[in-house]
Amino acid sequence: MYTIYKQVTFAAAHHLTKVPSDHQCARVHGHNYVVEFEVRALDLDESDFVLDYGVLKSLVAPYDHRDLNDFFVNPTAEVIAQHLYEGIAQIPNVRPIYVRVHENDSSWAEYRG
């Protein structure tokens, strides 16, 4: 069993739609997100990779410097982590272990299938 780990960053704005209107996260605000991926495979691919790190970076790229509400109804870190995990799960011959999405240095959400 092989395991890789990749950390990717992106900046984006969002607001949460399922919180009370006076909640601080109901207002548009932004984060410098840090996404951590852990992925495993039984065998290496033809390039001797578990998965090219660029594939993981490409999963995050569409959200960089964008409004996450254009992609998600309620873009919480939890929702983003699940979405990215499910994207990896569609890739043949690899298995995501977890995706962790940090909104800042002290707050993060993790999804494991």
Domains of the chain: 2-111 (3.30.479.10)
Confidence of residue 74 (pLDDT cuts 50, 70, 90): very high
- 25 catalytic residue (yes or no): yes
What's the average model confidence in pLDDT over 26-53? 98
pLDDT band at 6 (very low <50, low <70, confident <90, very high): very high
Identify whether 65 is a catalytic site residue. Answer: yes
Write down the pLDDT at residue 57: 98
Q: What is the mean pLDDT of residues 87-98?
A: 98
Say what the pLDDT of residue 44 is: 98
- Catalytic residue (choose from 25, 36, 78, 83): 25
pLDDT, tens digit, 9 for 90 and up, residues 49-64: 999 999 999 999 999 9
Q: Of residues 36, 38, 65, 78, which has the active-site annotation? A: 65
If you average pLDDT over every residue of the chain, what do you get? Answer: 98
Banded pLDDT at 14 (limits 50, 70, 90): very high
3-state secondary structure the chain: CEEEEEEEEEEEEECCCCCCCCCHHHCCEEEEEEEEEEEEECCCCCCCCCCCHHHHHHHHHHHCCEEHHHCCCCCCHHHHHHHHHHHHHCCCCCEEEEEEEEEECCEEEEECC
Give mean pLDDT, residues 24-41.
98
Place 108 in a pLDDT band, splitting at 50, 70 and 90.
very high
Q: Which of 55, 101, 86 is nearest to 110 (CA)?
A: 101
